[in-house]
Amino acid sequence: MIGVITDSSELIRQGENKEVHNMCTALKELKNEGRLEGRQEGRLEGTHESVLKLLRKGFSASEAASLLDFTKEEILKIQQKA
């Protein structure tokens, strides 16, 4: 902005480079956040499958909760959604 006000092409060029760098950094951060979210969702789905497998094999909700470090209520919610 100062480059525009002072009509300095060098300051304008530097500002544009910085804006591009900031935009690239922001896009990389957004991409990494998306990857992290995807991994977390994938793990959650895998955990749900583990819960359902234990329940199908005859484990109680309490036993599955204890084995997977969940609460009994969480196990029951997963079971209801299946």
Query: How far apart, in whole angstroms, are the C-alpha atoms of residue 16 and residue 1?
Result: 10
Check: CB of residue 70 under 8 Å from CB of residue 64.
Answer: yes
Task: Print the domain residue range for 51.
Answer: 2-81
Give the model confidence (pLDDT) of 60-73 as tens digits. Answer: 999 998 998 889 99
Q: Are 50 and 69 in contact (CB under 8 A)?
A: no
45: left (phi over 0), alpha (psi -120 to 50) or beta: alpha
The pair of three-digit structure tokens given for residue 53, joined into one six-digit string: 């497998």
Say how many C-beta atoms besides its own lie within 10 A of residue 14's C-beta: 13
Number of independent structural domains in the chain: 1
pLDDT in tens, the chain (82 residues): 444 555 656 656 666 655 545 656 765 776 677 766 665 565 667 788 899 999 999 999 999 989 988 899 989 998 998 8
